[in-house]
Amino acid sequence: MTDVAATHDAIVLGAGAAGMLCAATAGQRGRRVLLVDHADEAGKKILISGGGRCNFTNIDTAPDRYLSANPHFATSPLSRYTPADFIALVERHGIAWHEKTLGQLFCDGSARQIVAMLRDECTAGGVTFALGRPVGEVGHADGLFRVGGATAPALVIATGGPSIPKLGATGLAYDLARRFGLKVVEPRPALVPLTLAGDEALFRALSGVATEVEARAGKGRFREAALFTHRGLSGPAILQISSYWRHGEAIAINFLPDEAADWLVAAKRARPRATLRAALAQRLPDRLAETLAERVALAGELANLPDRALAEVGRRLGGWEFRPNGTEGFAKAEVTIGGIDTAALSSRTMEARRVPGLYAIGEAVDVTGWLGGYNFQWAWASGVAAGLAL
């Protein structure tokens, strides 16, 4: 029900992925929606996502591919708005797409098509855009939220997390949440490169070398490429594992995920005159083989090395421990882990239980997906859940 004094039925803060689909959904249900963003262009993160092609969903979306203090929270929104729903929308707009790998769907053309699609959907819902405007004070009195000169009985926090400030990301969502008495689970950078220092800094000399690994940290285990950088470790396997890593902990890298621990013993029988470095170089990039062989410090021909020592090296290469000294921070993080505590929200509507009319969606909320289209799927699903409730 709309209060007579309200200028709108809902004010959505943040014209990103979640905010735009939420606004369009509510607008197409007849709600008068104002969509506010301090950026002068909507959907800036969408534009640069997926290398400019937007990895807009993942067909393997499932709740266990999301991290949250409450792992069950995402189940309801994700099951009510699925990758198939978003694919249907994309196809209605004539956007061609393809699966790249691991269920990841990308536009054939450009991420601009996704932003244009969302804008068209907003236009179809009569959504009013207020771009290039700072949000300023948010008032709340007599059941109405006030932003600038606009008032509405519903306010949706869709301003995302603080990752990549130079794209306009801020912590506004957390400030607003705290102001309305909602808890915030400590935000930290995720899907982010890890940095190496001290004894491990020598691996930085391998900058540019990539290889397929299995990376492990906490409950996370990912088989994808890892990349050495001038600051430490990156590549999809490392970005994935960064979400599970905590300061002070080690990550384990299996450099030879297809080999049994005793493969070097077999290599010794096959090529007794080879050095360890040469044996490693048969399966790994040359420079990496050299560095690992130096670290293991087993000199001479395989024939002269005891089987036991070779089996031990095989085991070490299967779970090489790195102790990152940090991450490259919010400046380089694709997403933020943590955020508005889901305990305060309804998983059906995304509305705050104790503050009627206040909603939070998208990355602002403590739900973070794996790399590969999962985060956009969360933005769409949570946005639609709120849009249907406004």
Interface of this chain with ligand FDA, residues 279 to 298, rule: CB under 6 A? none
Fill in the per-residue mask, 10 to 39: x = in contact with ligand FDA (CB under 6 A), - = not in contact: ----xxxxxx-----------------xxx
172 binds ligand FDA (CB under 6 A): yes
Fill in the per-residue mask, 300 to 339: x = in contact with ligand FDA (CB under 6 A), - = not in contact: ----------------------------------xx----
Min separation Cβ 268 and ligand FDA, Å = 45
Separation of alpha carbons 252 and 214, rounded Å:
8
User: In what helix (H) or strand (E) does residue 173 lie, and over which residues does it extend?
Assistant: helix 172-179
95 binds ligand FDA (CB under 6 A): no
**Closer residue to ligand FDA in complex, CB, 111/281:** 111
- In the structure encoding, which two tokens stand for residue 150, read together? 């606009």
Separation of alpha carbons 162 and 268, rounded Å:
52
Helix axes 374-387, 83-92, angle to 10 degrees: 80
Tell me whether strands 368-369 and 66-67 are parallel, antiparallel or unpaired: antiparallel
**Closer residue to ligand FDA in complex, CB, 42/292:** 42
> How many residues can be counted in the chain?
390
Of the candidates 187, 247, 196, 195, the one whose C-alpha atom is nearest the C-alpha of residue 217 is 247
Of the candidates 180, 168, 160, 156, the one whose C-alpha atom is nearest the C-alpha of residue 35 is 156
**Closer residue to ligand FDA in complex, CB, 279/367:** 367
Fill in the per-residue mask, 34 to 63: x = in contact with ligand FDA (CB under 6 A), - = not in contact: ---xxx----xx--xxx---xx--------
**Closer residue to ligand FDA in complex, CB, 342/375:** 375
**Closer residue to ligand FDA in complex, CB, 36/310:** 36
- Of all residues in this chain, which one has the CB nearest to ligand FDA in the complex? 16
Interface of this chain with ligand FDA, residues 189 to 208, rule: CB under 6 A? none
Among 189, 193, 373, 387, interactor with ligand FDA by CB under 6 A: 373
- In the structure encoding, which two tokens stand for residue 82, read together? 């699925």
Min separation Cβ 206 and ligand FDA, Å = 24
What are the angstrom distances between the C-alpha of 387 and each of 11, 30, 287, 311, 347? Answer: 11, 11, 53, 58, 13
Separation of alpha carbons 244 and 352, rounded Å:
27
Min separation Cβ 199 and ligand FDA, Å = 31
What are the angstrom distances between the C-alpha of 326 and each of 28, 102, 338? Answer: 45, 28, 17
**Residue the block writes with tokens 């933005």:** 379
363 binds ligand FDA (CB under 6 A): yes
**Closer residue to ligand FDA in complex, CB, 291/336:** 336
**Closer residue to ligand FDA in complex, CB, 35/317:** 35
- B/e letters for 199-226, b = 16+ CB within 10 Å, e = fewer, are ebeebbebeebbbbbbbbbeebebebeb
Single-letter residue type at 200: E
Among 70-78, 155-163, 275-283, 348-356, the segment contacting ligand FDA (CB under 6 A): 155-163
- Residues binding ligand FDA (CB under 6 A): 14-19, 37-39, 44-45, 48-50, 54-55, 135, 158-160, 163-164, 168-170, 172, 334-335, 362-364, 373-376, 379
